[in-house]
Amino acid sequence: MKKLIVLVIGFVSISYLANAQTEQKLSRKERINQRREKINQLIKQEEEGALIYHKQSLFGFNLNTDGWKVNYEHGKYKTITKTNIWWLELGERKDRKEEKLSSSSNIYPGLSFGNPFVFGKQNNFYYFKFGLGNQILIGGKGNKNGVAVSFIYGGGLSLGMLKPYYIQIQDPNSGQYQDIKYANNDSIFLNPALIVGASPFGKGFGEMKFVPGAHIKTALRFDYGRYNETISAIEVGINFEYYSDKMPMMVMGNPQRAFFDAHIGIEFGKRK
């Protein structure tokens, strides 16, 4: 009797273990099939033009209607059409009245000497920005050789940086060369006959004035990269900035707090 009970228990145990192993095998097979089906869907979406990735990063260079900027952008994939992005930008604004001139020698008329300078320029206006926004896919590539079109929008903080603009002049009394910046009612700074040229680029960085502000931007991005893993794009857009104080660039200009510009740029990066 005891032997029979032991045989029955052993048979039940073996059956239970066999069923558990079968279920485990089926479960593992189901997981493999589900994973394979998901991969096939991603491949199909990519072939149809969808940009499938986890994150992206890119660098760009832009020409603005009033200057230039370089930028870095990082994005995290949320849905097929939406990516959360943040960006950093560093650039320079220039007054539309700026014009580079060269000094002419009094001894040899027509012969230029000294560094080219901007007459009447008071400050170099640089800026640094941090922003948050979204990238919305408007149209997929259609195929791997197509163009994906995305809409970019967002905004954030801006930090305006005013660096005094120095010029080198020849002192009318001593005949010595001096680096000077603009001071109110400065007749020497605005006397072209005394100007030798622009001072070295680094002059004035220690006197930088920082002005906080904010910005918003919108843009269209045309990604013509051959493969979805790479980003090769052209971007066109508009930008608006507002600062807490006026930003003087030219002595004869009208200092402003608000700035509006358009830009076009090239961008390169990768997706993972």
- How do the pLDDT tens digits run along the chain, 272 residues long? 544 444 444 444 555 445 555 555 557 777 777 766 655 555 555 555 455 678 999 999 999 999 999 999 999 989 888 999 999 999 999 999 898 888 754 434 454 566 899 999 999 999 999 999 999 999 876 555 678 899 999 999 999 999 999 999 988 788 889 999 998 778 889 988 889 999 999 999 999 999 999 999 999 999 987 667 788 999 999 999 999 999 999 998 899 999 999 999 999 999 88
Structural domain count of the chain: 2
pTM as predicted: 0.77
Q: b or e along 93-104 (b: 16 or more beta carbons within 10 Å of the residue's beta carbon)?
A: bbbeeeeeeebe
Residues 109 and 20 in one domain: no
Residue 40's region, left for phi above 0, alpha for psi from -120 to 50, else beta, is alpha
Residues 82 and 110 in one domain: yes
12, 28, 47 - which closes a domain = 47
Non-local (6+) Cβ contacts of 39 within 8 A are none
Distance (Å, whole) CA 53 – CA 41: 13
Residues 114 and 25 in one domain: no
Residues 196 and 96 in one domain: yes
Helix (H/G/I), strand (E/B), else coil: 249: coil
Residues 26 and 58 in one domain: no
Distance (Å, whole) CA 140 – CA 48: 8
The pLDDT value recorded for residue 183 is 87
Residues 192 and 108 in one domain: yes
The pLDDT value recorded for residue 6 is 43
Distance (Å, whole) CA 62 – CA 71: 8
Residues 9 and 88 in one domain: no
Helix/strand/coil percentages in the chain, nearest 5: 20, 50, 30
Helix (H/G/I), strand (E/B), else coil: 38: helix
Residues 157/130, Cβ–Cβ less than 8 Å: yes
Residues 166 and 177 in one domain: yes
Residues 177 and 224 in one domain: yes
Range of the domain at 25: 1-47
Residue given tokens 């493999």 in the structure block: 32
Residues 37 and 66 in one domain: no
The pLDDT value recorded for residue 257 is 97
Helix (H/G/I), strand (E/B), else coil: 257: strand
CATH for 210: 2.40.160.20
